[in-house]
């Protein structure tokens, strides 16, 4: 992606803000505040490589809004990370936390790097180096990072450890998505996929589906994609296609998801297999591209990869009547217009993938209390949050006759607006 694409990613995010603002009860001042991040930092991170040479990496952190609580949001390691992308993702996090009603604002961070080119030792040095550069910008009460694209629990553990060293006190609440042994929360691993699954189960109730008759295609077979596939498959849904960064597989009869996950974890490749015990055999499946997967004739399409997958160029070929966004920003606003006119239902990212940040919130709460919950307690607390957010947004959608994304932003904006207005806006200060 070019630099301009990423500048426009933030502009695109703001277009959604403007669209929703016409339907939301929020004053102009609150909107003006949301149009730019509260703070943004760019850092350079010198890393001594294994061969003795030095490389300097560029990193960013954006704190978009903290009127409802500390900023919250992932750190991604990716070659295409840019200021515009980080700002857009932080804006989405602000809306996502408000959307499900957890007391956080939005933040996001990233480092321009292809992590696959680094050794594990180099990765650790880079992760700790990033934290050293942003240590004054983050904190349990200011800005709480988490994993994102190409970062994981191990990296979060290193980052928490580095922050704790700098502050000379163990501070698990500074970062979420940590390994369980270092203060992570049970149930965090599958939280994003599980949150989306709870949304799909609500739709199932509203539409009266029989799961065995519903076909599903999943673009992206990372953490979120695997877990939602596993949960849907267990309920009888037919997952007929899945893809990862190398390409995808399609079989109209559906796949045995546990076998696919096993194969992906063992070999890092997505192969059409059926595993019985330890014996895996390859089964017939058509190899398809990521682009072809999006255009399959299925009942449910789940983009769970990167942003900007459904665009004005391919939206006319999208056949699925329902799209559930597990990725952040997989649909551009231009494509949105087309889908909305056509009556395609899009369960938006700020609702569909909010299970991840909700369980991150649970992790932060447990770290601060020094008291940890069972996995059953985590699921028990996650479900009502997702269900009530889904139904509140669904009601706004029907009431205001808008698409579901606009409804989600309306709910989010009204909550953020309320927090900002609680400090007083012009209506309060200007005497008539």
Distance CA 243, CA 124 (A): 29
Query: Active-site residue among 19, 38, 96, 108?
Result: 108
Say how many Å lie between the first and final Cα of the chain, rounded.
Answer: 50
Q: Model pTM?
A: 0.89
Could you tell me the fold of the domain covering 191-352? Rossmann fold (3.40.50)
**Closest listed residue to residue 154, CA positions, set 132, 127, 135:** 127
Distance CA 333, CA 234 (A): 34
- In the residue annotation, 108 being an active-site residue is answered as yes
Alpha-carbon distances of 198 from 96, 137, 261, 349, rounded to whole Å: 16, 34, 20, 14
Question: 322 has which bridge partners?
Answer: 300, 345
pLDDT in tens, the chain (432 residues): 444 555 578 888 888 888 888 888 888 888 888 999 999 999 999 999 999 999 999 999 999 999 999 999 999 999 999 999 999 999 999 999 999 999 999 999 999 999 999 999 999 999 999 999 999 999 999 999 999 889 999 999 999 999 999 999 999 999 999 999 999 999 998 999 999 999 999 999 999 999 999 999 999 988 889 999 999 999 999 999 998 888 888 988 888 888 888 878 777 667 666 656 556 566 677 888 888 899 999 999 999 988 889 999 999 999 999 999 999 889 988 899 999 999 999 999 999 999 999 999 999 999 999 999 999 999 999 999 999 999 999 999 999 999 999 999 999 999 998 898 888 877 778 765
Q: Do domains 37-172 and 191-352 have the same CATH topology?
A: yes
Q: Which CATH number fits domain 37-172: 3.10.129.10, 3.20.20.70, 3.40.50.10860, 3.40.1670.10?
A: 3.40.50.10860
Instruction: Find out whether 93 and 65 touch, Cβ atoms under 8 Å.
Output: no
Distance CA 399, CA 363 (A): 35
Q: Where are the domains of the chain?
A: 37-172, 191-352
How many C-beta atoms lie closer than 10 Å to residue 303's C-beta?
28
Distance CA 333, CA 142 (A): 31
Here the tokens at position 114 are 């292809």
Here the tokens at position 380 are 């028990």
């Amino acid at each position: 992606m070019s630099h301009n694409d990423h500048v426009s990613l933030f502009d695109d995010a703001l277009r959604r803000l403007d669209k929703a603002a016409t339907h939301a009860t929020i004053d102009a001042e609150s909107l003006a505040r949301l149009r730019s991040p509260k703070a943004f930092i760019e850092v350079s991170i010198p890393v001594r490589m294994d061969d003795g040479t030095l490389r300097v990496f560029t990193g960013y952190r954006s704190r978009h809004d903290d009127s409802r609580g500390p900023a919250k949001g992932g750190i991604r390691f990716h070659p295409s990370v840019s200021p515009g992308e980080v700002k857009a993702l932080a804006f989405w996090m602000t809306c996502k936390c408000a959307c499900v009603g957890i007391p956080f604002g939005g933040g996001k961070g990233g480092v321009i790097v292809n992590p696959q080119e680094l050794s594990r030792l180099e990765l650790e040095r880079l992760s700790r180096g990033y934290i050293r550069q942003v240590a004054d910008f983050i904190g349990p009460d200011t800005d709480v990072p988490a994993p994102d694209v190409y970062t994981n629990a191990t990296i979060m553990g290193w980052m928490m450890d580095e922050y704790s060293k700098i502050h000379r006190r163990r501070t698990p609440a500074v970062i979420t998505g940590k390994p369980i042994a270092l203060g992570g929360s049970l149930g965090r691993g599958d939280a994003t996929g599980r949150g989306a699954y709870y949304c799909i189960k609500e739709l199932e109730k509203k539409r009266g589906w029989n799961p065995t008759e519903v076909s599903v295609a999943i673009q992206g077979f990372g953490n979120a994609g695997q877990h939602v596939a596993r949960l849907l498959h267990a309920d009888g849904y037919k997952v007929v296609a899945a893809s990862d960064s190398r390409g995808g597989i399609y079989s109209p009869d559906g796949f045995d998801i546990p076998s696919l996950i096993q194969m992906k974890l063992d070999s890092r490749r997505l192969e059409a297999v059926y595993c019985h015990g330890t014996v895996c055999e390859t089964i017939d499946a058509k190899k398809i591209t990521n682009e072809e997967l999006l255009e399959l004739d299925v009942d449910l399409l789940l983009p769970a990869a990167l942003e900007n997958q459904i665009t004005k160029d391919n939206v006319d070929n999208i056949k699925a009547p329902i799209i559930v966004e597990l990725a952040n920003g997989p649909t551009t606003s231009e494509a949105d217009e087309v889908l909305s006119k056509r009556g395609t239902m899009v369960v938006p990212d700020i609702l569909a993938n909010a299970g991840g940040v909700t369980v991150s919130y649970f992790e932060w709460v447990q770290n601060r209390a020094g008291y940890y919950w069972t996995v059953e307690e985590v699921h028990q607390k996650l479900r009502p949050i997702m269900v009530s957010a889904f139904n509140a947004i669904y009601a706004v959608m029907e009431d205001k006759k808008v698409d579901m994304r606009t409804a989600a932003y309306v709910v989010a904006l009204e909550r953020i607006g309320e927090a900002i207005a609680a400090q007083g806006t012009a209506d309060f200060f200007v005497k008539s």
